Chain A
Amino acid sequence: MSAPMATNETLPARAALDQEWRKVVNHGLLLALVLVFVSLANMPVSLDSRMIIEPMLSMGYLSLLWIPVVMGFIVSSEKVLEGIAYHAKGAREVLAGGLVGVIGGLGLSLLVILIDNFNLRDPLVNWSPALLDLLQFGNGIGFGVIIWPVLGFGLGVFGGALHIFTAMTRTIVGWVVGAVLGVAVFETVIIDLLTERLPFEFITDWFYFIRGGLSQQGAVTAALIGGGLGYLRVLAQRGVVPTPVQDYKQLVGPERTRANTIIIITCGVATAILPLLLGRITNELLANVGLFVLLALGLNVVVGLAGILDLGYVAFFAVGGYATAILTSPNRGDSWPDWVPQSHWFAALLVVILLAILTGLFIGAPVIRMRGDYLAIVTLGFGEIIRLLFLSDWLGGYTGGAQGVTNIPGVDLGFVEIKGTDPRAIFYLVAVFCALAIYVSWRLEKSRLGRAWMAIREDESVAEAMGINTVNVKLMAFVVGAVLASFSGAIFAAKVGSIFPTSFIILVSIVILVVVIVGGMGNILGVIAGAAVLIGVLGGPKQPGLLAEFSEFKLLIYGALLIFMMLKRPEGLVPNVRRTRELHQEEFLQDAWLRSQVDADEQDGAASGEVAPA
């Protein structure tokens, strides 16, 4: 937010031993608990196979090492309030971080001793010699017990020291870490991009180790590049170097429109070229991400624009998938009468749209007048009912029951058939529909309907008093979301070639919700970014992402992420200005009130020459 005003006093740094001991101990214990939990959750052991920097740093060790740094930073974080004096940071903060790290490390030492002497494998399944070995760094127990408080101290000190770094140092350090991690995490994509069609093996050989992970020189190079970029950013912030982003924000009117068009065309070209350069697996990943982007954009209309929490959203995905399957596959259930033709995918799509609209109305009508909480549960119920119906033996003649519908053909465009075996083509198909979804969301947001949705989000009864038929308007949101989800279902059917009820469990609805929330409710760019980051890197409900090792832990991370975002940053990662206003209402109102006092004084002074009382 805003930097502290000049009127804020800065008191001198406090003495090193002047600690809030209770706070330090509490944070230390919390750190110990988290470290022990992460160990027993098997993250270090199972992620150990992925190297960040060969041979020094594996993802497994990293999963433990980052936590004391963060905790060391948090223990000394203070919220700076305008007008209130605050202390400068110094050795005290560094020491606090270190102490917190020591206590956390002692927790791990205790764990090491316990694993060595007791067997709690039942019930804690990950209580294993492998874990012990990892925690001891391959050495004996003495090493294991001593190393962690020491490591904790060092890492905690670093975390605390972040407070005393200058802003420039912090920025550069951030960029260095980000660059190294980024190059490591996106290894497969980068290698693919540079070597599949382009002859840049020499770059990847330099950066990466044969078996995976950054080589040491690669890590150093990445760090240098990151540092350089960070430095440029600092210069940009200081105004020494002009940035394109700042220039862009200055544009208005027809220049802005022209700039927007250029950006859109560039994105379009990039989207078209990228799959050609990438290998099969990466394209498969991109196609998956695309499907989720489409689903998330649809849910964004329902949750983000209209403010309706639909937990049964997967039902529309299912309707799209099953309708496409039944209409195009020769292997559908035997109960269907002969006059239901085996159609082309695009013909089936028309029926899919109709069915999605009907389902949207059918589910929407009863729930639309309910309280938000009830609506969530009832939609979840509907989602489950639909899945159970598709799974049941009763309708099995029509839907294939647990065996699903198989042998779904791809999309026949005449010159090419888009099937699951060709991920590149699937990606293009998905990209086209995503573009459609983006266009629809964007146009609707700026229309009469979009304004009505905003008003309903603000104050539903007043919106009704202003003449908005809230029932119809909310139903409209439901229907639009349903149609977009059904598109995704139709593509999914053609891609996978078969449809089973297990693809449509509630988990899918919740993961899409996490993507929308984390990315930014109501914000198209945010939703896309959220899908790319979460589904692309960590993986979807049933599909692995770039970091396949995280498959066991991704749901845990999503749950924690959802809670964290709601507590700290409910507007999402890429926030919508308006949404941020809504969610931080009080802070904005206070600022607005202050400003209005100034404005009112000005106006009254101008109008009548008097100064109104404040």
Chain B
Amino acid sequence: MSERLLTIDNLSVTFGGLHALKNLDFHVDKGEIVSVIGPNGAGKTTFFNMISGMVEPTEGDIVFKGESLIGLDPNQVTARGIARTFQNVRLFANMTILENVMVAQHCRTKQGVFGALFNTGGFKQEEAEIREWGEKVLGFFGSRLVGYRLDQPASVLSYANRRRLEVARAMATKPEVILLDEPVAGMNPRESEELTGLIGQLRDEWGFTIVMIEHDMGVVRDVSDRVVVLDHGETIAQGSYEDVSTNPDVIEAYLGRPAEEAS
């Protein structure tokens, strides 16, 4: 039985009267790929924002490897081992591609002013290691983000490449869990298929645990171990893709009920 990494217990958050999340329970075990799906406005991105520390819950607990994440700053959460991507790609557009994955390693490195000013052996070594890991992470996507690309500003990338860099940046923080927020949004079918395969590789070869928000059911079906369905801030179903896709509550959440049943 693999280790339970992340446990979310009775999580709730209210934004001025709106219950964005209501008594949410959730868990992830090491090595799992869990998809979180649900109609728009279900609270999925809010859910990610709570885990990564950008929003504080009004109730409930988030426990990662035995310690609570409540009240931590986002950078502390990342240091503990949870990385994330953003739904609307938020790269450091004017930094180069390599710099994007180098700066992501900030919490894993420690050289400071002293090392930089005196160009110590430790500084040089750490810079080399940062560069190496950065290139390795970028190499995950084949030849697209390496070579001459390394020194180009991130703003020159095509949309699909930006999404890939977003993922690479999350990988660069050396996390245990990666939260992917709609990783294939806006990609064409071929690109989605490729990324689906890569998500599997992230778990199989690189050892990451993945929690993924997705709308593309093909991707969800192909790669997930487990699917969790949210609607109006609550979990309404959980299980394998087959179970969840035939669950009447889930269908109702997405498609609604026929009119004569409404009253």
Contact = CB atoms under 8 A, between A and B. Distances in A.
B54 interface: yes
A448 B130 contact: yes
Nearest to B86: A462
Nearest to B157: A596
A535 B199 CA distance: 58
Contacts of A597: 158
A444 interface: yes
Minimum-distance CB pairs A-B, first 6: A467-B107, A447-B116, A467-B78, A458-B92, A451-B103, A596-B158
B111 A592 contact: no
A458 B104 CA distance: 13
A77 interface: no
Contact of A451 (B78, B93, B99, B190): B99
Contact of B90 (A459, A467, A581, A603): A459
A interface, how many residues as a size bin?
Answer: 35 or more
Nearest to B123: A447
A462 B116 contact: no
B interface, how many residues as a size bin?
Answer: 35 or more
Interface in A53-84: none
B40 interface: no
Contacts of A463: 92, 103
Contacts of A15: none
A467 B173 contact: yes
A443 B119 contact: yes
Interface of A: 439-440, 443-444, 446-452, 454-455, 458-459, 461-470, 476, 480, 578, 581-582, 585, 588-589, 592, 595-597, 599-600, 603, 608, 612
User: Of residues A447, A469, A589, which shows the largest number of chain B Cβ atoms within 10 Å of its Cβ?
Assistant: A447
Contact of A459 (B79, B83, B92, B104): B92
Given A451-B106, A467-B106, A470-B75, A462 B92 contact: yes
User: Of residues B52, B75, B95, B153, which shows the largest number of chain A Cβ atoms within 10 Å of its Cβ?
Assistant: B75
B259 interface: no
A42 to B, nearest CB: 45
A581 B94 contact: yes
Contacts of B18: none
Interface of B: 52, 54, 73-76, 78-79, 83-84, 86, 90, 92-95, 99, 102-109, 111-113, 115-117, 119, 123, 126-127, 130, 144, 153, 155-160, 169, 173, 188, 190
Contacts of A603: 144
The prevalent SS among residues of A at the interface is helix
Contact of A461 (B74, B79, B107, B127): B74
Contact of A444 (B106, B113, B130): B113
Contact of A464 (B74, B111, B123): B74
A596 B154 CA distance: 11
Nearest to B175: A467
Contacts of A600: 158, 160
Contacts of B107: 466-469
Contact of B79 (A446, A467, A596): A467
Contact of A452 (B103, B115, B158): B103
Given A444-B113, A464-B73, A465-B78, A581 B153 contact: yes
B54 A466 contact: no
A506 B157 CA distance: 44
